[in-house]
Every structure is written in C-alpha cells, then in structure tokens.
Structure 1
Amino acid sequence: MSNQEKLSLLGHSGGFGLEKESLRVTMDGRLAQTPHPFPGNKHIDRDFCENQVEIITNPEGSVRKAVDSVREYHEYVADALWNLESGREVLWPFSNPPRISGEDEIPVARFSGELAERTAYRKYLGRKYGKRKMLLSGIHFNYSYPPEFLQRIFEDSGEGNYREFVDSLYLNLARKAMMYSWLIVALTAASPLYDLSLFEESQRDRVRDLRLATVRSSELGYWNDFTPTLRYESTEAYVASIQRYVTKGLLHSPKELYYPVRLKPAGEYSMEGFSGGISHIEIRSLDLNPLSPFGLMEEDVEFLRMLIGWMTVLPNHELSEERQKSAIHNMKKAASLDLENVILRNADGTRSVLTDKALEVLDRMERDLGKSSTLDFQRNKILHPENRYSEIILDRYGDDFMKSGILLATRRFHGQ
C-alpha cells in the first residue's frame, strides 16, 4: 500500500480526546480557596491544585466534535462558577497563573478515601518542584488510529502479530512526534504574559532576558530535573526505559515523567496497562489560548491531526539518546518570542534557523497532503510574526496582565 493510499484510508478519522486545565480564581484575580465544585464528575476533575479544573472529553470521532465538547464543558463550568453560592468565580484564561502571594495560597488537590494517595503524591511534587510551577495550565491532545485503518494496513503489511504491529506503529509515531515537537510549540505558543510572582527571585532576571512566547515549554517550564531518554524499539523496551528512572529514585512513579509526547495504554495510565498494548498517543505541549473564548483554536487541533497523518507515512528512523536530547533542546528554544533568532539542531548534526525549517516542513506537508487552509493558517504565523498568538496577546493584553485576565474570563457574561 502506497503512502497516498494510507493517507486516503486514514482521512480525517480517528479517536480525538482533549484535556484542558484552567485555574479557578475569584473576581479580584486571586486563586480560589473553595473546594472543587464538581465532585464525582468524571469529565470535570482537578489536576495538581484543588482550584485547577481539568476538563476531560470522551474520545470523539472528529476534531470538530472534540473541540465542541471542550467548548460545551467549558461553558458549563464557567456558568456554574459564576453562580456559586459561596461567591462568584471564573476560569483564568492564561496558561500562566495570576499573581501569587505565596505557596500557602496554592491548595493541593484534596482527595480522600481510596484516592488519598493522589493528594500525598501532589504534596511530594510540590516539595520537589515548587508549587508555583504546578499552577502552569495547558491542553493535552490525545489521538488513536481508527480500528479500520489499523486492520487494513496490517493485512497489507503481511506481519504476523496484530498487537505488535499496532504498537510498532505508535512507537514510530512517538519518535517522529518528538522530532517535530518544536514545530508544535512554535505554532501554538500563547503565554508570553506572566506575573513575576510565578518565579523565584533568582529566576526573575533570567525570564526577562529569555523573552518567552510560552513559559510551560521553555527551560523554566514543566520539566524533570534531568533530561530523560526513552527507548522505542518495542513496548517492553519503552516501559523499561521509563521504569528505570523510578528504580533509580529519579522519579516517584512513571506519572512524574514530564515529557512532551506520551504513549498511553487503555484505561488508567500505568506501566502494567501496557501489557494490553498501546492505545493512543498524547501530545502535551499546547498552551491555553486566551484568544479563544474557551482556550483552544480548532485550527490548531486540525493541524495536529494533519501532522499525525503526515508523520504516520514518513520513513521510520532511530531516535538515539543524542537525538532525543536535541529534540528537547529544540522544543525549549521554540518557546522564544524571537523565532527568527532560534537555531535548531537537526538530526544529521547540522543547524537550521527555526523559521526556515518550519516553512520547509509545512511545504513538505502541503506536497504530501495537498493544499489546505489549515496549513496556510499555520504558515502565516511563520511568515508574518504579527499573526503569532504571542504577539497578538502582547499587543492586546500586555499593559495589565491581571486586569486583562479578569476581563477575558468574564467576557462570556458581558456579551463580549
């Protein structure tokens, strides 16, 4: 089966799931101290903090349905918070948190009973990484190949074991997604504004010098205190490469691996779950986008769908430890406001200017996938810096981060 036949067979289909984190804040822009208002709702949970709402959609059959699901849950949560008996609250629209007086006002998520271990784990994370960093909020994109596609290309492959074939497909996809993680960050970065209270005193001069378009994906963002490298030659090797960091005491559990691309089993995330095979891939580097009323642009999710399809038919390659380290380096560098000055490390050891490399990739995608308004939308961000989310956000809201956050959070209730 040719690459074009595979792309045609894959089409726009698949399983699309989204997870969106947002902080609950009071009308004066302070972190809410109230209990999670949606107990028992599997689609509206909390992440690190008691006041960090996490919207979790079902896997949907199209990008449009997944984005609509996020919007509907966001509106439901926003309406409920606006009408809380304990006092009005809103969802903070930025990935970077509002002003923080101190770590005492960051309440760790309160789980009890059989789930009490989750609270203990979060306290451990707060001690290790600092509670401020745990307030950074974003969006995770989950994708699974449609069963019909997998079955057809498996039959065409002549391979003998279906489960191993599917796992190999996801492992190769994860390799490629790591190598292009810089492009996702460059095109979707949307958190150039922050309050200096997010950072320790020792970091504040450094963050000014960095000129960041996104904090979460930068060197000051959500990373482990070492650079992990994983193995992708088999599911067993992948699991073992994560587990070794737990065994060495570098990680409390596999969940602590802060990596931009994850492979996931079905059900609860655990290494034991991989015995049933790989279920889907998770891309974890999207910022909340305050230019959208619900924090997410459909064009960006559609681009991720196209990127996954394109990467699926790219030639497979090895992802050595050195290449993985380069991929992480490139992703952190892509968090810059000044993309024209960012130099990427290529897999062959050469260097490229990020904007030149981005245009090259988008042109290759267009040759393989055909012309698309989605690719034009992304290309214009590279060709015209004023179209990048970070530049628009700085221009519109850069004068007063705190005031802008409240105005954006309440626009739904003022017809804006």
Structure 2
Amino acid sequence: MDFSQRLQRIAANPDALTQIGRGLEREALRITPEGALSPEPHPSGLGSALTNKWITTDYAESLLEFITPVSHNVEHLLSQLADIHQFTYAQMGDERLWPMSMPCFVGNEDDITLAQYGSSNTGRMKNLYREGLKRRYGSIMQVISGVHFNFSFPDSFWDQLFGEQAADERQNAVSDAYFGLIRNYYRFGWLIPYLFGASPALCGSFLNNAASSKLAFEKVGEGTYFLPNATALRLSDLGYTNSEQSSLKIGFNGLPEYLEGLRRAIRTPSEKFAEIGVKVDGEYRQLNANVLQIENELYAPIRPKRVTQSGEKPSEALERGGVEYIEVRSLDVNPFSPVGITADQVRFLDLFLTWAVLSDSAPMDQCELECWRDNWNRVVLDGRNPELLLKIGCDGERLTVQQWGSRVFAELAEVAKVMDTAAGNDEYQQTLSRLQTWIDEPSLTLSAQVLTQIKEQQGIGRMGKALLAEHATTLSEREYGYYDQAAFEQEAQDSAVRQAEIESADMVSFDTFLDQYFADIKSV
C-alpha cells in the first residue's frame, strides 16, 4: 500500500482519527517583577514538585513544568493547560512566567538553584541528576524552556491499518510503525522549527562557547544577539546539547536496535565526565561518569515512550510493552500564547504525525541520519533564507524549504480533508491553509514575528517583560474552563501527603538505593 491507500483505509473508521491521544508539557521560568530569575523556593501552594500530577519543576527550582493528562479533544487539552497556568499564577504572588524559550540575562550560574524534591531516596536522586547536569554542561543551558507534545494513535487506528492480529504481533507492528514515524520525523521534521521556531535571538550570556564564534551574529539593544534568518537557536549547538553524545550511534530502525543503542550509551564511560568525579570527599557530584547518567539525558527531538510502572526505567517499559506513544521535543515556547502553544500548532502536529506514520519510511543508516541532522541545523540557523537548500538523502537532489515544504503540504492536505470529515468540520483544512502562507512567505513564520518585535523593542528583555504582563492579565481574568480551584487545591494537598509517604517508606540508605538502581549497569 502507498500513503493514499493507507489513509483511505484509516478514513473508513472516524474514531481512528477523532480519538487521537495528546498531552502537553510546558516549561516556564518564574521571574521577579524586576525581570530576574526568582530566588524563591517552589511555591508552597502548588504542593509537592515530586508528586503533583499537574505541576512540577524541571531542572531548576524556578523552572516550572506544567503537565496535562491525555486528552482526545484539542480544545479540552488547551483549556486544561490554561487552567493549570491560572492556578499557578494565583500561588506566585507578584512573580510572573517568562514567555520565551531563551531566558534573559543570567548573571551567575550560582543564582540558579537546582530543583528540590525532598529527603526521599527518589527525591535525592532527581536532585543529584541535576547536580550532574550542572557540572557537565553548566546551569545556564539547563534553564532553556520548551514545550513537549505527547501523541498516540487509538486502537481503532491500528485496527484499520493492520486488521486482526495476535497480541504480540500487534505490539510489534505498532512499535515498528512508530519507529517509521520517528524516521520520517528526522527526515521532514525540520518543518517544525521552520514554522514554529521562536528563538531567533538570545542573550549574550549564551555566546561564551566555541559554537558561537563561527556564526555571524548581529546585535540589538544592550545585549541581544540574533541571526537574521534563524528560527530556533534553542535547538542549535548554542542550546542544550551533549557533545559527548556525538559519538553514540543510536539507530531508529526498530525497537531492538534503539534499546541496544540506548543501553550502550548509559553503560559507556566518559573520560571527560570521569574528571568531575562521582563521589568526592563524601559528597556526590553526579549519578555516574557515563556518557548518559540516566536515559533521560539523551538529547533527541523525538522519543519513543511507554508509561512506566513503579521503579521501572523507560527502556524497561519499552521492552515490556513496546512503544505506546511518542514525545515531540522540538517545540519552542510560543511567546504570543499565554500557555506557550496554540490550537493551530496542535492541529498541525496532528496532521504531520499522522502523515509521517502513514507514509513510506525506509530504514535509515547512519549516513542518512547525519544528512537529516544537517538539514535540521541549516533550518535552525538559516531557515528563513529563501535560497537555503536542503539535501534529500546523502547523494540526492537539493530543494529549497519552500519547494520541499510544498510537496509535504500537498499530502498533508489529503490528511486534513479526511480528519475534518471524521470530525464534521473544517478546522484542520483551515489550519493548513493559514500555515501554507508561512511556507510561501518566511516573513510570516513565528521566528520572523518574534525577531520583528525584538528589534522594535530593542531586546529580548523588553519584549519578554511586555508579553509576560499581557499573559498575566489574560490568565488572571479568565474563568476556569475544565478544572476548578478546588481540584487544584486538593491535588496540592494530596501531593504533599504522597511525598511524605514516600519519604517514610524508605528502608535503605541513599548509597544502597543508587547501587540497586544501577545494578544492571554495574553487572555488565
């Protein structure tokens, strides 16, 4: 079957396209009224960052992370995210949420307090992992924010695509299909930073490395630097990457290959990280001295995922049950949205990921993977250049972003029609029509809009402060749309109880806990 035949097979059951599962994770820094990173601890009204199911922290105590449950409705999803923002604002006093992926000026890394999760072994391990990140890469890179999009197809989708199958056969078929999607994401996912990249500029404090010296930055205001055609500097070498990972050869041709590569990475010692030390004078500095401390340290624009059971590592969950959903990690925070993402963005991701799983996806060797990574880097640094050429395969033809994007959009239009027919409206076609103009005219893209405002307001700082004030007003004046105040207050209280229970249940020392957690690595 080809793409169109697969699409028509799926279209025969409307549930296959109306019951897609989506979840959002949005990161945001707490900012003082003066525009600095908040020095205050996690607001007590939000409960426990370790166990609250909606509101936690990422790297730093000031870096909040909002998590929605799985939703099958785009409006419900965004309403849930807005409700979480609204409640959080009410617990933050006069602080605000920074509206951009790239933070403004950070004067001293020591001003960034690592996220705290209490005295349990689990909480201490999460904190120590962050200590390791600090010593490996520095804290400034770790307070860059993003939006993660979790996505899954319903059983009815796979029923239509594969027909009747035994349980093991279905599990393998679904995992293979998701890995086909992942390969196509590497091939064509540069469309995401082209359309939705929102970090064409950054504060000068991010330019103190070798990567920046090779790029022709221009300056605006007192300390904002930009590349004229950049889209998402957050995804470049100037953002958070792990240079040690460049030697890793993790493939995406199927679950066994991926797991083998991932496990090799967490077992591979790093001479560079060994110099840091693991436990020095009785104090831990990192979880271990391997290329990856744990699996979460792997930098990737997209990941295969499965919900873990208690005490289970992500790779163990994948091996147990196969791929359950995928996590898109290449979205910048949309600074013009109070919640960091819009309905058009969600619907485009629906279209793109559905197209990616239904399109042919040949196995990918290391040469091809490096080719696609090069395309991504070109779009990140120079994506709005109308003369930019992208490679099609290691030895293939070259096309402009507009030429290649138009080819993809032509097939996305087929998906949009089918999804709108299933839903009984034309919202996907409307989204695609709006974004088609962004393909044709780079000045309409999100990064172009952001750069225009940065120039008008003479810097990231002024633009960010203006937007965060607007968003604070918007969120404070809205009514709850999905949850209510009582639900958030109850979860905050319950989360504190759950943390206390975890802390009281610890029966071994932290040293023993770590030894047990990494026993499979040490036994190799």
Q: TM-score, normalised by structure 1?
A: 0.92
Partner of 1:346: 392
Report the alpha carbon displacement of residue 117 of structure 1 after superposing the two structures with TM: 0.7
Partner-residue secondary structure (3-state), 1:339: coil
Partner of 2:506: none
Partner of 1:266: 307
Seen in structure 2, the aligned counterparts of structure 1 residues 164 and 201 have a Cα distance that, compared at 3 Å, is closer
* 1:55-94 correspondence to structure 2 within 5 Å: 55-81=66-92, 83=93, 88-94=94-100
The answer (yes or no) to whether the contact 1:183–1:358 under 8 Å persists in 2 is yes
d(CA) in 2 for partners of 1:39, 1:324: 43
The answer (yes or no) to whether the contact 2:199–2:231 under 8 Å persists in 1 is yes
Partner-residue secondary structure (3-state), 1:173: helix
The answer to whether residue 56 in structure 2 is matched with residue 45 in structure 1 is yes
d(CA) in 1 for partners of 2:215, 2:97: 25
4+ runs deviating over 4 angstroms:
156-160, 201-208, 413-416
Seen in structure 2, the aligned counterparts of structure 1 residues 340 and 254 have a Cα distance that, compared at 3 Å, is same
Partner-residue secondary structure (3-state), 1:34: coil
Which deviates the most, 126-135 or 360-369?
A: 360-369
The answer (yes or no) to whether the contact 2:416–2:432 under 8 Å persists in 1 is no
Report the alpha carbon displacement of residue 369 of structure 1 after superposing the two structures with TM: 4.2
The answer (yes or no) to whether the contact 1:339–1:355 under 8 Å persists in 2 is no
* Structure 1 counterpart of 2:252, one-letter code: Y
Partner of 1:170: 178
The answer (yes or no) to whether the contact 2:193–2:231 under 8 Å persists in 1 is no
Partner of 1:256: 297
Deviations 1:120-154 (A, max 9, x none): 11111111112111111000111111122223433
* Structure 2 counterpart of 1:245, one-letter code: A
* 1:18-57 correspondence to structure 2 within 5 Å: 18-37=24-43, 38-40=46-48, 41-57=52-68
Seen in structure 2, the aligned counterparts of structure 1 residues 97 and 63 have a Cα distance that, compared at 3 Å, is same
d(CA) in 1 for partners of 2:165, 2:308: 28
The answer to whether residue 461 in structure 2 is matched with residue 402 in structure 1 is yes
d(CA) in 1 for partners of 2:359, 2:374: 22
Partner of 2:441: 384
Q: Which runs of 5+ in 2 are unaligned?
A: 218-226, 270-290, 418-427, 476-524
Q: Tell me how many residue pairs correspond in the alignment.
A: 411
Q: TM-score, normalised by structure 2?
A: 0.74
Partner-residue secondary structure (3-state), 1:118: helix
Larger Rg: 2
Partner of 1:356: 403
Report the alpha carbon displacement of residue 214 of structure 1 after superposing the two structures with TM: 1.6
The answer (yes or no) to whether the contact 2:206–2:238 under 8 Å persists in 1 is no
Seen in structure 2, the aligned counterparts of structure 1 residues 317 and 262 have a Cα distance that, compared at 3 Å, is same
Report the alpha carbon displacement of residue 105 of structure 1 after superposing the two structures with TM: 0.8
CA RMSD of superposed structures (Å) = 2.3
Partner of 1:100: 106
Partner-residue secondary structure (3-state), 2:28: strand
Partner-residue secondary structure (3-state), 1:165: helix
The answer (yes or no) to whether the contact 1:29–1:99 under 8 Å persists in 2 is no
The correspondence for 2:17, drawn from 11, 15, 20, is 11
Seen in structure 2, the aligned counterparts of structure 1 residues 339 and 68 have a Cα distance that, compared at 3 Å, is farther
The answer to whether residue 331 in structure 2 is matched with residue 320 in structure 1 is no
Report the alpha carbon displacement of residue 267 of structure 1 after superposing the two structures with TM: 2.6
Q: Which runs of 5+ in 1 are unaligned?
A: none
* Structure 2 counterpart of 1:259, one-letter code: A
* Structure 2 counterpart of 1:50, one-letter code: E
Partner-residue secondary structure (3-state), 1:29: coil
Partner of 2:356: 311
Report the alpha carbon displacement of residue 229 of structure 1 after superposing the two structures with TM: 3.6
Which deviates the most, 208-217 or 12-21?
A: 208-217
Partner of 2:284: none
Report the alpha carbon displacement of residue 79 of structure 1 after superposing the two structures with TM: 2.9
* Structure 1 counterpart of 2:53, one-letter code: K
d(CA) in 1 for partners of 2:129, 2:474: 41
d(CA) in 1 for partners of 2:261, 2:135: 25
Report the alpha carbon displacement of residue 253 of structure 1 after superposing the two structures with TM: 1.8
Report the alpha carbon displacement of residue 159 of structure 1 after superposing the two structures with TM: 9.4
d(CA) in 1 for partners of 2:252, 2:209: 39
The answer to whether residue 241 in structure 2 is matched with residue 223 in structure 1 is yes
Partner-residue secondary structure (3-state), 1:336: helix
Q: Highest relative contact order (Cα 8 Å, sep 6+), 1 or 2?
A: 2
